[in-house]
Structures are given as C-alpha cells and as structure tokens.
Structure 1
C-alpha cells in the first residue's frame, strides 16, 4: 500500500513537495496555519488543504483519524515551536517523521570577517560579523553583515545603528524587536498583506506608512527601490536562503551601500554540531524526501516535477496544464505591472491580438509569439503543440473590465487547465485620470462588439464612459448623443438652442484616442465639429468616449408620454391612461424581454423601452403603415432597444418555437412579407391586438416560457370572453382583471366637457 502523506506546509518547499506528490499520484493533505496560507496553496492548484493552528494532541488526532503513514514537516525553518509539536504528535502516533530542509545557502558566498568590518560599535557576544564576497560583475564591493542567533539580539544590534531600518522578517517577532528600539519612528516593516500581519504591526506600535503590506517574492530592484524610498541605513532579514529571497536582499543592500543584520536559521546553526544537533540535523532535501516516499528521482531531475518559480504568481506546471491570462495595460510598457513583467519573462509562448503583441519588446522577451486571442483558438494551438509548458495570453487593459479573458478563462477551465489571472491597468482608469474624474461618479458601458442600447444609457446617466468597437463607431455614438440631448422629457425636439457647448449646452463629449501610447489624443468635440471626417471608416485605433449629460438627471422617475407626442397617422393607439396601467401590470425589470403583439403605433413599446436601457422590446405588427409608424417613433424617442418585426404574430411565434433556441437571428416569410431581426425568449408580453389568433398566441407564449407574464387589453366583450375561455381551458392561475374607464376634459366655449375614452378590460395572466 502506498503511503498517505500529511504535509505541514505554508512554505515554498512544502508546495514543491505537494506538487511533486500530485504529479506522482501520491495521496496527501497539506495543513496550513492561516486562511492566507490556504489562498496561496489554492493559487497553485492544490486541492487538498486544511486550515488552522494545531497543538500536538490535535495533530495526533488528525494523523490517526485520517490514517496517515508519513508526516513531512515543511514548516518555516524559524518555526521551531511548531516543529516540536509535530514531532511530539508523530511520536504519539508512531508514524514516520521527515523534516524537509530548506536550502538556506545563498548563491552569494559568505565568510567570517575580521574586526575591521567597519561597524561603529562592538557587537553582542551572541552575534558574529561576516562580510559578503561577490564577483566583481555582480556588485562593486562587499557589505557588512552581523549574524545573530535570535530576534532579540538582532534588535539590540539595530538599536546601535543610526538612521531608518527596514525589517524584512515578517510580523511574528515584531513585538520582541520593537521592545528593544527606543525611537520607533525609525522602523519600517514589510509584511504579508493580510489582516493578521497588519494587526501584529499595529500591536507592536507601527502605524500608517511604517507598515508596508506586500506579497513577494521581491527582486533585487524592488528591494533597492524600497530601501531608497524610506532612506534605510540597515535591513533586518532572516537567513531564509534563495527560496526566501536572501540573495536579492543582500544584493540590494550591497548596491545601496547599507548594513545588514541577519538572524541565523536554526537549521544552519545546528548543522554539523554532532549530538547537539537533535532532529534538525536529520532533515532531508526535497529529492531525498521524495526518494523515501517512493517517488522516482529521475522524474524530479528530468524536470517532469518542476521546482517552484521565483514568481508566486506562476501557476505550477507539475499540478497539470496551466495558463496565465494577463492584462497588458492601456498602452506602452510603462503601464506594465510588476506581476505582468514576471509573467512575460517566464513564459515560453505568448498569445494575443496582433496589435497587442506589437507592444511587447521581442528583443527582451525570448518566448514564442503567436497572434491568437480567442480562447478556443489558443486551446487548439496548445493541444497541437503540447511542448509549451508556460503559456501566457495577453489582453488589452485590465482583464476584469470588458475583456476577452472572461470567455477565455471559461474555455480553459472547462478543458481542465489551471487558470491564473493577472490584472492590468484599464484604459478606463487611465481615461478618468486624464480627465480628472472619479470613477465612482461615472457609469461604464461596453459597446465593443456587443449589442448595447447606447442612446438609453446616454439619456439615463449624467456621466458616462463608453467603450466603442472602432473609430467609426465612436463617431456614430457621438452623433447619437447629440440627438438624445435634443429630446426633452417627452421626446420633443427643443426649438431653443442653449448657449454653451456646441448646439447642446448641457452636453459634453470627450474622446480618448490611443490612450497610453505615443499617439494619444484627447479630443473635446461639439456637434458642429462632429462631421463625417472626425474618424474615417477605415481609421484604426482604440477609442473611449466620455459623455456628460446634465439633463439626464431631469428624466422623471415615473415617465408618461402624452398621446400627442407620438407620430400617429390613422393607426389605432393604446391611450395614455391605459398604457400607464398596462405597463404597471407588466412589472418589467431591467433584464426583461417584452413582446408587444399588435404594436400599432408602438406607444407601449416606446414607453416600455424607455424604462431602462437594458430592457429589450420586440414590437410585432402586421400592418405596413403601422410598422413605419413604430420605426418613426422608435427613432424620435431614440429607443434603440426596440426591434421591429413585421408579420402575423402567430406565424412569427410559431417560427420562433420551431427553432427551439434561446436567441436567434432569423428571416421568415409570413403572409408574403419578409421578416428580419432577432427574437429573444420573452419574459413578458403585451397583447394589444391579436388578429383573431388570441388562443394560438397565448398558447405559444406559454410554451416559449411557462413563467411569462402576459397583459392583454380587451376593448370588446367578445375579446374578453375569448381570453377567459383560453385561461379556463388552459388551467392558468386566476387572472387579474381590471376594467378601466377614463374621461378627459376639453374646453368647449366657456365650459369643460368630458370626452370619455372607451372602457378597456386589462387582463393579467
């Protein structure tokens, strides 16, 4: 029977071991102390993780209850108390204990120095001096290091050194260190970005800018930048080895010409000290632990099981197929994040649209570049060329805002890939910065390659940022904005021009072109300037629009368009009072799809469409003249979320049912007329006229969506009788029936006389 392994981890070497066991099919469980530790494990694809600090008894109970045969102690070298508890638990249960050693030896050679190292004061008796010796092509000169055996002795050394100090030892020993420092304003600590670490900083007396919460690993340059930022004269670090970034810390200190105080690793201190070394001297390297667990060492050496990358953001190859999806930012390399730069350097193949790949310095990045950006195309490529192990897909801006990364992630997750996402700086954020806007005051809408009722959002939002599909589309949207701005509450075109911006004093339009690049332009345009030549149909480039419409706030919360505002002709129209009650009975929401059957002039369609930009209305009408009226009213009120369908309602719906799809483009021949458009499955329906097919229409609507809400206007008793019969025979729920009688008053001579509207039954099912 193969071993079942319990790993006490939370360290890089622990993750490397778990990944190797996963690749070898060895059953295991990783125990970490904190939720943050679990997040790190999760980010590398580890599926078997438990959280919580445990004493020896709790560890023993876990070992016995789960039937573990081996326990690997992969905790931090400085977590000596935890290691002691693990050993007690193993002794109690009788299972094998293996200590996984960290390689604490740095690549940089250290050697004990003489007393002429340059420290101003004598060091503590339990400390010793060393100097760092490096090749001349790495650093120019040696640096001064004091190595101490504890946090307290290290703190005493720090107290003797003048100037600011940067603590790179985490949050665990902060209280001990701070207790020895008299001037606490000199102290800056870099800790993990979690609540527990920050709380420990505050408890130790650190405040505000003294707390630097960041997730590593950190490059030498990052360490140099931080040292220079706080003007540090000394750093405190642990002897954490290459895994803990010791090389990068020492090289940074050398470059900055500052001193180093280092707390020696307990494992290094005990190494080679004979009988006094205890259990720590009996530790094993990763290959040795794998050998004891029966994992083929050749697989480790051949790279089939890969050591963890220096970047914690890289998804591990050894856990399975993986890919990184990254936002490249809005323009030039100056907008790259550090995480993205690490991903670019580590990738062996990079995907992206041609325009995005052109922005990457191919002289510096040695990966293969493939101009693919659709998830399915990238997956097909990787399936054909499985030798690529570190794929990276680049997307413009930030992957969390209107990005193709959303669909790509689904494609790869469904294919069994581990997907890691790297956010970038969005063009929207850069645009807002250029204009001095707060994004919390703006609405953001994407019309990039997708259906969007832009006119509706312009009418609703005072401050709106729009992502268009192209330069030409940008001009189209701007023209739409000026058209919307000229419409008052009920849709009348203003006859009086307002002084100010262009011909619409309350409207401001700003276009951001190729933001973040050398071609960047910010254009504020008026209607007079917005000719067809603003952007040619062939012009390429990325644009954003900012539209400020102060009149948007004047829109009534509860609308109501007077009958006289509609273009009418001879076609019958649902009267204003009846429309108000009927729309109230429909109970539309922002994501509703309304079929207006027998739409007439389109008065119900228009009022429903103007309730919210995301409502979709399909106006179905068989009469040629009425169809033209609907189109004219749609244009007048800028109700772009109305689709006009010409044809017999029963035939249109039957065609839709025959397709049996949720969304479709279609071309029908209904009663000799060609019907073109797109029908969505309805959530609501209003029937103002049925053409004698009431039964068929209701039955089809219910088949399309059994939960559909239908409101019917019945002017005649015959229509009401037919509706009630259909409801009874169809075993529908009890309908809501309201009879509405309304009268308007008009002036006749010196008097106001009632002008009654025909009574109407409003039936809701």
Structure 2
C-alpha cells in the first residue's frame, strides 16, 4: 500500500484531502495551525466524508508539539509546524512513499524544507500549484518581489495602508514610518496572532481580526472604513481571495501594491488528484537505498560518534577505502565485546547486529559507489566511510552532489577532524586558523605565509593536511628556503592511535626529520616575521635594472626576526609611479576607461552600458566595450551598438597579464578613444560566491579601472546610501569613483542623491528613470538576443537621449580619465610598446605568437541558434593558421566546401528546434562528414544539435543531426552553472564555463570537470580523436596546446575528401 503525505492548510490541500477521503485513499494531511485543522474538518463534513474525530496520542509526535487527529476513516491530520529534520524523521518512521506539497504559493521557506527532506529521503515529491487568477492589472499597480520591497516603497509614499498579507509579515510592516497610524492589518483571530499584534503595537481599530473568505463587497467596506489609499496584498491566485481584493480596490479607487508569486514548477490540482489515484494503485515505486556519509574521525572506534557507530552496526553494507573499512571492522569487533560485557539491555541488539553479515566494498569514487549500490536494490541502508570529518577536505561534498543527481537519499554524519583533535591535544583553539590541504595537491609557501602575515586580517595559525612521502619534512624545507626557517611548526602523526606522535620545533629544525606520509602540520609565526613579510620595499637583484626606470638602489639592513640573521634588502627608487608599471599596465593606463558595476545582477548594467556606448559613439570618441566574466550575450549588445566585436575580460580564464593584454590589444586594434567595461553579477562576487577572484572588482584591480556603481533604487530609499557606502569601504582600494541611480523618478532623485553623497562621499553622476521605451526583457540564459528585440535601435536611441538629459556624461568622462598619457615621440612610443610586448610574451605563453604549422579551414556554425562564441577564441584560431568559414545550420543546405573541421558553439537550438529539424539536408551533410572522420568541437547548444533528438522550447521532440545516438531533453532547473577546470583525456587542463537547463541522456565521461572552489567534480565530454562534444564552453587561450593539438587533427585529414 502506498503511504501518502499531503501538506495542506490551503484550499488545494483541503480539496486533495477531500478527494482522498471520497476515494478511500489513506493519507496523512499536515496543517500548521488549529484554524487550518478546523477548515479541513469542515471541508470533510460538508462533503459527507468526515469520521468521528479521534485524538491519537502518539508519544513521539507529542514530544515535538505535534498533534494527530483521525479526521475520517482514511485521513489522519497532523497539526503543528515541522522543520526539515522532523519531516525527514516522519517520512522514514511512517514509510512515506509520496509527498504532495499543496502549501501556500508564498510559503517559500516551507516548500524549500519539504523539498530538502524529500530529496534526502528519496521520496517522490509533487508540487501542487494554485491556479492563476484572471487579472486585469491597473496601470497604477505597483508590483514587487518581496515584503521588504513593498515596505521600502510604502515608506517612500504617504497614505493609509490596508494590509492583507498575514501575521507573518507584521514585523516587516512595523518598519514603515508611523505604522501605528498608517497601517490597518487584517489577520486571523487566533490567540497567538492577537498577542503578536498587541506586542507590536497594532491594536484598536487598526487591527481587524476576522476569518475569511471575504467577498468583493466586504473588502470594499473595509477599504472605505479605513480610508485606505493603498491595498497591500500577495498574489495568491484564484483560490486565495486575491481577485476579490483587487476588484474592491478598483471600485474604491485604492491603489494596489502586489507581492508577486514566486516562480516555480509543479502540477495542477487536477493533475495532483490523478497522481493520488495512480499512487493508490501502486504506481509510485519503492524507496531507494538510503546512504549515510559518515565521518569516522581518525579511525579509532573510541573517536567515532554514537550515530556513526549505530549506522555502521545497522547498515547492510559498508563502502570506503581500505583503511576506512578496517576501522569500521574494528568498531564492529569492539561492539561485539560490548555486547558480551556491557549492559544487559544492549547485549541482544548489539550481538544480533554484529552477527548479521555486513558486506564491505572497497570504493570511494562517486560513480563507483553508485554502481555498487545500484546493483543491490535490496539494501535499505549503506554507509560510505570518510576519514576525519565529512566537511573537512573529504570527498563527501562531491559524493553528495552525485547522489542528488542520481536520486539517492542520503544523510551526512560529521566526525572528529584531525584539526579539532590536534588543537584539543595541544590545548589551543582553531576557529581563527587558516586551513589548507597539501594532500594530493600543490600548496605554495607564499600562499600560506601571506595569509599568516596579512597586514589587515592575519590568521593566528595555519593547519595543513599533509600527504605524500615525508610531506611535512619537505614543506619545512621549502619554508626554510623561502626565509621562514624560524616559523614554529608542530606535526601530529597517527593521531588517536597508540603510536600517536606530536613533535614541535622550528621549520629549520624539523626539515631534518622524517614524518608519516599522512600527518597534520600546525604553523605559527612571530610578530617579527609578520613585520618582515609586510615591508613594502621589494627585494630585487641589484644588478637587474635594465627593464625599469630606476633612479637609484637603496640598500637597507633589517633584522627579520630574533633568530634569523640580518638580511640585506635591496629596493628600487623610481622617478615616478608610472615607472613601476608591469608590462601592459602603462598601455592600459594610456587609454581612458570606465567600468559600470552593480551590487547584484538585474540592476541595469547592460542597459546603461548600451546607452553610454551610444552616446560615446555619437560624440565620435571611438569607444570599445569589454564584458567582465564569461557572458556571451552582453557582448552581442555591445557589438550591436558599436558595430565592432566586444571582448571578455576574465581572470579565471586568464592570468592578470593575459587580461591586460586582451584589453590592450582591443584598444590598439580599434584605435579606441575610450574603453567601457561592463561588470558581471555583483561587483565583489567571485568564485564560489565567497571570493573576489574572477569578480568585477578583480578586473578593476588588474586594469586599474575606475568603477561607477549602478544602484537599482526601485523599492529602496536610504538603503541605497548604505549600499554605496558599504561597497566603497568593503575593500581598502575599491576603485569605485561614482554612483548612478537606476529606476528612480526625477522627483525623488535629488533627495536620494543627496543622501547617497552624504553617506558615502561618492559623487552621484545622474539617474535613469524606468520606462517601457527602452526596457530589455530576459529569459532562461539571460537577455533576449539583439535580433529578437523589437525596434532595438530605436529603443537604444531613446535610452541615449534620456541619459544625455539625466546623467552628467561629461563627469563620467572625467572619472574615466579623458586626458590619456601621450608620448610625443612616435618612434619612442613604438619602441616602448614593442619592449613591453616582448616582456609580456615571456611571462604569458598564451600571448606568444602562435606558430602556424599548417593552414586549415574550419567551418563555424553561426546564426541565431548558434551564437555563443568568445572573440578571443576566434583570434587564437586565426593566429594558429585557421581560416574561419561561417555557415548557418538554419538556412544553408550543407557545410562549407573544403573544410577540415567544424565548430559548433552554444546558443539557443531549443528555440529553433523546429527550423533545425526541417533543414534535413544540412543535418545529413553534418552527419555524413562526421561519420567520415571530420574533427569537430561542439559546446553546449552545439552539442545538443548533434544529438538524435532535442526537446524544443515548445515541449516537442525534434530530429537533430544524429551524430550521437541519444536524446536531449529539458529539465526544470539549472543543471550546471559556473566556472570549471577541465582535465582532458591527455592530461591537459583547460578552463571553461557551464550554464544550461537542458540535459543529455549521456553527457560523456572522457574528461573530468572540477569546480575551482570546493571538492566537486564530475565526468563529462565525449572525445574520440579530434571529435569532441559536451556541455562546457571552452576558453582556448587558457590552454593553447589543446587547440593546437585539435588543429593538428584537422590538418591530418585536410587531404581527405569529406562528404558534404
């Protein structure tokens, strides 16, 4: 029998419960409050399906303040709020097979908890969506995305507010100035809610405690009695009384502030009833094996937690590396001793668990583990073992990611990490320590010492997990060679075992000793070392002064620390700051430049960038545009405005010198008068969401570009000033030189600008009011493409006209530095540029002139469906001797003649699936050529095109090129997003980026993708010779040898006649 759990408390939940009662389908129904329970009972009584309510005294549930009531012969009501852990426990204890989430459309947190609980237990979850109401939106409606946005807006206007958003939002409403006079709140008449209102000061006539439903007439009466000028409501759909409220507001002339419904995927009420019917017939399936990811500490049974020992004892199988399995077997043997000698009540249970044959499997890679588990559907529970703590440099995070993808429920049990253990043994603490791993990875001495000697926020100590033969001793040797021989080092070996050993000394003393391969090192530095590390003078070779304009050398003798001998430092003194510049820095500074950045995505960066580019183009300033980060679409808009290719500046794809070179080359090639850089995401948002690496700020730092912060002020007031001040001071050198306010009216601008300038000290350079005349729409991969936006040229023209009126463009140019450094002597300028170029080439291999070994013709698929290409990739292909021949899979009938390889970029093939399918001649041309051996590179959308079929945006499946014998389909979520390091089958590393909602039945396994932050990795890419296809977008300059090797494959077949 299928066990069903419905989360109700809504009209949909009550209708589903009534359906189950009528059809005799047993189900649990959850409601949060007593009021919800009463409504459910009424629904069942009215339908004639109610039984005799019988309070079920479930002791386990009662302890959690949950009450159960037998509402009918088949319906049990569970009343009370539950967190995710309680939900998981209930699912397992009751053996639930199917969960229907019919909670309120705005109960986002509850839905997320339900989703998490079901994901961890492997139970099928269906989200029942409320039907949309028939809305006739008035022009003066104000739509916002959250209660905070609503509060910000209502704080900026005057008038009485009639709030119907429920008691959960009362605290937020109290932030509105004079809320006790302005706000009338309609809430449920429960004792808890009334106490809350009294505590918040919402009392008397301003409190309307009534239970609905409310008709249009009754809502109109409330609006008239309160003299409300504003109705605050949530878009709760057809069943939530939303239509009656807005209709009343329309009749009464009351303006409406609507909190939009969160966008989500799910099924209708009718579809949910069909799911319940099929589930009752047994069409749900059994639960998958529940997996426990367990940290076993250092391996001794005495160090394992009780929950880990219990899991090992109760599981059907143990999976892990050999050392972990040995530790688990010792724990089981120890358990047997306890069962013989321990307390009587534990003996029988422990002995039975040990006597049960627990199977052990040596495996630790996610794919290997999943393969083992999939072969044993009879297992109820299996434990995957990890040394130390699951959250400390273990493979648990990578395993969790793969288990989610494979649909296996899992729970993570933490263990004792070697760091916490060693800190405890030494009687010290570790919350302020920097923690690193050198186990299976490179770790530089400079990286560790810079963190310990950081002048602003130094770490008090550093723990390093060592691996490899005598790793600790070798690291001490490297510390000594780098001048840190007196750093205090402690090394712990065989921690928690009888042979445990902890030794301390200076790095110079410890380098002579031998240590176990797996050990933990603790580093601590003195104040003298920190001062020595943080000296601003640069140590250099006194004889090497040829490449710098050095005025003189300064010799200083400094005592680095008490134990280290005196050290003579040689520093350079320069005639001026410009002489200190690295290669390309002088050229970068020679061109005026500005960056438009923002606190977050969706703030209007692209809109303002396009408008500014159009203004600069009109003025004849010959601008160029660059996009920070890996985005493809924004550079298409830049190209649309200027008529020349945009560039990407990305410090994950390239080192700093490479980023500067891309900018310098663009300036030189286009003879630019000014460069406009558009930021990516939030200004400081970098890798993993917690670093500034690869952020807009880092690009500003690398290129020394002043940034203008674009603040989206819709729904905000004084918070904009706080944001400007916070962003300015978040980094000591923020590069922020001004502010532009977006989506703000002319009336409100002056007041808000004054507040921003007073709080931050930054000049406010203007504003842009919101207007449909130049609005740009977005979709699942970003903005619509330029060719898809109606009257785009006219829109950009109007945008530029408005910006000329409301933004001080001349002041923007001042910030950009429109007085570039000029060298009057042209011959001298040419010579200095060539000198800088040569030095750059030596430092950055991807900058080198690429040797052309053979000429090849590469066919590039390029049209509306395939439009995601990096300009730098094209440049590198051409530098290596490739002739690029463009063709359209949408319109052409075959691939170009005499091509030696094919390039299929990303884009939107799903939006053009019907048209691509209709062009059978092109599909056949591609299929025959590739079958004959033609090399190709296919990325993301191009990879999808080579599948057997592709599910289009219209939901239909269309025939594609058929190179790969499997299908591509749409999913309901973003499958992959972000930067990746890709390890090819030949051991090369190339950087790339993934961003896709569509998925493949077989995304490939020939390469490994590794996230640059964390431990997540997965297999991807199909590679067979020079035929390469997969989801990642590649940046060729991050590994020129990869591209050269692929072009060599193309050249091999250049004499072969591929069938077109």
When normalised by structure 1's length, the TM-score is: 0.40
- Max Rg structure: 1
